[in-house]
Amino acid sequence: MINYHKTPNGFLIPKKSEDFLRINKLKDIVKKGLDHEGSGHDFKHTMRVYNNAMKIAEGENVDLDVIKTSVLFHDYAYSEKFFEGEHGDISAKLAKPIIEKENFAKEQVRKILLSIEKHNFWQHNESDVPIETKILRDADRLDAIGYTGILRAISYAINAKKNPIQSLKDQLTISFETKKGIELSNERFRVIREFIQNIESEFN
Ligand SMILES: [Fe+2]
Ligand SMILES: [Fe+2]
């Protein structure tokens, strides 16, 4: 049976199409906000995390709308040129009024904002969070390792005047929480280990 929703102007449209239109509208908002971003939290990063999250969520009994929306807004703090405080908190604060305008259930809004707030894996390791939050964290972590992770870690280290090799070694300490996340991380960790080994033997 097809589930219908009434739009504000009275049209009945299938719920699936409505969810699709809503997520595309939110994607456009985030894309515009992160257009100028140059510190590794740009819209391309957001969409890589989005794709990772869809892979991790496959076959799991989870709320995909919560995952998609929290992924889209997880680094939204960077839409502000300057902000003070932890970027997960700021992203949730900025996302709140946007998300509340959409037809999410109260519980979905709660989970979306919590996931955004707790997504930063360097600061949050609480295991007492919904599965949707763990999926966002693992999807974000996957983008910090592998070939993309190498590029991001090196450019971060150069900007922050840190040792790039040490930054790469730090990436090896990242841990994963979901079965699929752990599975997907294995190959990406291998790539970093091999890179460190090769570059150290060439340098020294
Ligand atoms: Fe983040
Ligand atoms: Fe991120």
Contact indicator for 142, 185 with CB cutoff of 8 Å: yes
What is the Å distance from ligand 2's center to 150 Cα?
A: 15
Q: For 5, phi and psi rounded to 5 degrees? A: -125, 145
What is the Å distance from ligand 1's center to 74 Cα?
A: 6
What is the Å distance from ligand 2's center to 99 Cα?
A: 19
What is the Å distance from ligand 2's center to 80 Cα?
A: 15
Question: Under 8 Å CB-to-CB from 191, ≥6 apart: which residues?
Answer: 145, 146, 147, 150
Question: Under 8 Å CB-to-CB from 6, ≥6 apart: which residues?
Answer: 12
Quickly state the pLDDT bin for 118 (edges 50, 70, 90). Answer: very high
Please, what is the angle between helix 43-57 and helix 15-33, to 10°? 150
What is the Å distance from ligand 1's center to 149 Cα?
A: 14
- pLDDT tens profile 77-109: 999 988 999 999 999 999 999 999 999 999 999
Domain 13-126 CATH class label: mainly alpha
Given this model, what pLDDT does residue 127 score?
86
Angle ∠(185,186,188) on CA atoms, nearest 5 = 65
What is the Å distance from ligand 2's center to 77 Cα?
A: 11
Given this model, what pLDDT does residue 123 score?
80
Read off the tokens for 3.
């589930």
Q: Where are the domains of the chain?
A: 13-126, 144-204
Global pTM reads 0.90
DSSP 8-state code for residue 79: G
What is the Å distance from ligand 1's center to 7 Cα?
A: 33
- Residues within 5 Å of ion ligand 1, judged at the Cβ atom: 75
